[in-house]
Chain A
Amino acid sequence: MSGRIQTSKMFQKPIVMKPYALELLNFIKGNCRVMVGCGLIFFLFLIAVSAPLIAPNDPIEQHRGHYLQPPSWQYPFGTDDLGRCIFSRLVYGTQISLLISVMVVGVTAIIGTSIGLISGFAGGAVDEVLMRIVDILLAFPGLILALVIAGLLGPGLFNVMLALAIVGWTGYARVVRGCVLAEKEKGFVEATRALGGSKYYIMFRHIMPEVLAPVIVMAALGMGGTILSASALGFLGLGSQPPAPEWGSMLNEGRTFLQLAPYCTIFPGLAIMLTVLAFNFLGDGLRDVMDPWKKKRLEI
């Protein structure tokens, strides 16, 4: 029955496959979480880019005599123990947090996806060795390993990013490898091979796009996770160095004055939470979107 409908449909009008991205966009439009997440993220990037315009004060200038001031018109979120404007520091901190997450997620997603593709395609000894490395790294709590690596390399923004990248690529590699193995068996790959398509053609033209959906979801969720991990390392004193307004280290500096000036800790925490929430909204929404999208593509 359904088969007949399909055939008659096929004869009535030619199916025009829309470009991948366009079709995906149509699906995304309806999802409220994706829209909220995207809106928030756009807003955060806007803050990061226009930080000099938004911040009322210099983020590292120490205002003498204005130590631990409660929120006021001059200092919207108060000042810290050195008389620096917390609001301005938070605004500039957006740049650091977004930089860390974009860099780490970008690097880990690319490396992890490539290794997963290679592993899934090559099979044999290459696959075995790569997956054992992944096993080893996954069999140890990631943040603790990052803590040890960053701690040994010494505090600093670059070292934190490096540590998080060393730990972070494994998830992508494993998921992508699984996808490749599943896709490799499908009819269209066999058909392409029968038609004389080369290995690289199959890999990039047919399998890569199928793998992209889970990678995008993981990357969106990974952005939030990276910000959380980076601020945890900053909180433990391993992040960027003192005058830089990193959110995690701001919390660490502020906790000494928790009783005297709770605004020193409350606002940086809220900033971290809002940013992570935005990326989690996006990631969750995308995950909801990707499933039916994939199903629909199969139906066509």
Chain B
Amino acid sequence: MWRYLFGRLLLLIIVVIGVTALTFLMMYYTPGDPAAIIAIARYGGPESLSSDLISWIRHQEGLDAPIYIQYAKWLHHIFYLDMGRSLITDEPVFDKIFSRFPATLQLALASMLIYLLIAIPIGILSAVKQNSLIDYLSDIGVLVGVSMPSFWLALILILFFSIYLGWLPVCGSQGLSYLILPATTLGIGIAATTTRIVRSSMLDVLGQNYIRTARAKGLKEAIVIGKHALKNAMIPIVTIAGLQFASLLEGAVVVETIFAWPGVGRLLVDSINQRDFPMIQGCVLFIAIIFVLANLLVDCSYVYLDPRVRYNRRHQV
């Protein structure tokens, strides 16, 4: 187990270095001079810029060093939890991301709740009543849900619930009612794939011998399904939870932008539009760490869900 954890933490470091090095490289060769961006942000409009000023800033900020020196410097600062300062607002990147994180977490947890509430009952129902009308309808629902762009669903929900019915606010983040539409948008998209996994995993389990034994013992069908089958069917459902987390983060970027939800996703989109390089780099680093840690958590949960899984042998990481 320890060995396994060690391997995973090593992967975390490799991923962080790989992804941030890639973004660093892209930033370096991208149009848009960071020194000029700083100059505009600090000293106002382009007319007041002189090439002396820009080259002074470039030197001052260490932007004239070769790329690998800049990257090494950035990595070095990370160890002191210093991700630099925003080129636009001069705020520390670290503080900014952590002030935005609770909103993203809130959105992620709420949509997780929604997708589980949709996917598990429907998935079980369509597995138990295989090839029935319910199964057929849920299958079509899944296909439509997978094919639907989340930003379009968001706009349709706004149109219906906010504009026509006037029940919910269009955008913002002042309370629970503001959370409902973004979380539903994100939840429905992910519920589609999850429903499919729940169904196939449930079908798989229902064909096992221990289910036949449970039925032969004369247990009620509700107990057979709810206790014996569901518990075993959870393993594949948890397996894809890691993958779902990726879609959750991806979806959050789009959904936060539409609903003006002040999370990390919107911060990333805004800083890309403003070419705020340290902020982009910080967001990428943050998302990489969160994502790898979430997957690690998923893997560790197997040990508790399935007693057959033990990570003591040399495990491929």
- Nearest chain A residue, comparing its CB with the CB of B26: A152
Total A-B Cβ pairs within 8 A? 125
- Nearest chain B residue, comparing its CB with the CB of A139: B15
Contact A152 to B11, CB < 8 A, known contacts A140-B288, A144-B268, A236-B257:
no
* Inter-chain contact A273/B148, CB cutoff 8 Å: yes
Q: State which of B22, B151, B250 has its C-beta within 8 Å of the C-beta of A235.
A: B151
Determine the distance from Cα of A255 to Cα of B159 in the docked complex, in whole angstroms. Answer: 10
Contact A147 to B151, CB < 8 A, known contacts A139-B288, A141-B250, A154-B31:
no
* Chain A contact residues, majority secondary structure: helix
Query: Which residues of the other chain, A, contact B148 by a CB distance below 8 angstroms?
Result: 269, 273, 276
* Inter-chain contact B273/A237, CB cutoff 8 Å: yes
Q: Give min CB distance, A78 to chain B, whole Å.
A: 15
Determine the distance from Cα of A249 to Cα of B156 in the docked complex, in whole angstroms. Answer: 16
Query: Which residues of the other chain, A, contact B250 by a CB distance below 8 angstroms?
Result: 141-144
* Inter-chain contact B287/A141, CB cutoff 8 Å: yes
Determine the distance from Cα of A153 to Cα of B25 in the docked complex, in whole angstroms. Answer: 11
Determine the distance from Cα of A5 to Cα of B272 in the docked complex, in whole angstroms. Answer: 67
The reply on B249 being an interface residue by CB < 8 A is yes
For the complex, count residues of A whose C-beta is within 8 A of B.
43
For the complex, count residues of B whose C-beta is within 8 A of A.
44
How would residues 254 to 285 of chain A score, 1 for a CB under 8 Å from any chain B CB and 0 otherwise? 01001100100110110011001100110010
* Chain B contact residues, majority secondary structure: helix
Q: Give min CB distance, B56 to chain A, whole Å.
A: 25
* Inter-chain contact A136/B19, CB cutoff 8 Å: yes
Determine the distance from Cα of A236 to Cα of B14 in the docked complex, in whole angstroms. Answer: 30
Q: State which of A140, A224, A235 has its C-beta within 8 Å of the C-beta of B291.
A: A140
* Inter-chain contact A236/B269, CB cutoff 8 Å: yes
The reply on B143 being an interface residue by CB < 8 A is yes
Determine the distance from Cα of A277 to Cα of B192 in the docked complex, in whole angstroms. Answer: 13
Q: 8 Å CB contacts to B: which residues of A130-144?
A: 132-133, 135-137, 139-144
Determine the distance from Cα of A273 to Cα of B272 in the docked complex, in whole angstroms. Answer: 27
> B residues near A, CB below 8 A?
11, 14-15, 18-19, 22-23, 26-27, 30-31, 143-144, 146-152, 155-156, 158-159, 163, 246-247, 249-250, 253-254, 257-258, 268-269, 272-273, 280, 284, 287-288, 291-292, 295
18 A–B contacts from the bound complex (CB under 8 Å): A135-B15, A142-B250, A144-B249, A144-B268, A148-B26, A148-B272, A152-B272, A153-B30, A224-B146, A228-B147, A251-B149, A255-B155, A269-B148, A272-B149, A273-B144, A276-B148, A280-B146, A281-B143
In order of increasing CB-CB distance, the 4 nearest A-B pairs are A269-B152, A151-B272, A136-B18, A276-B147
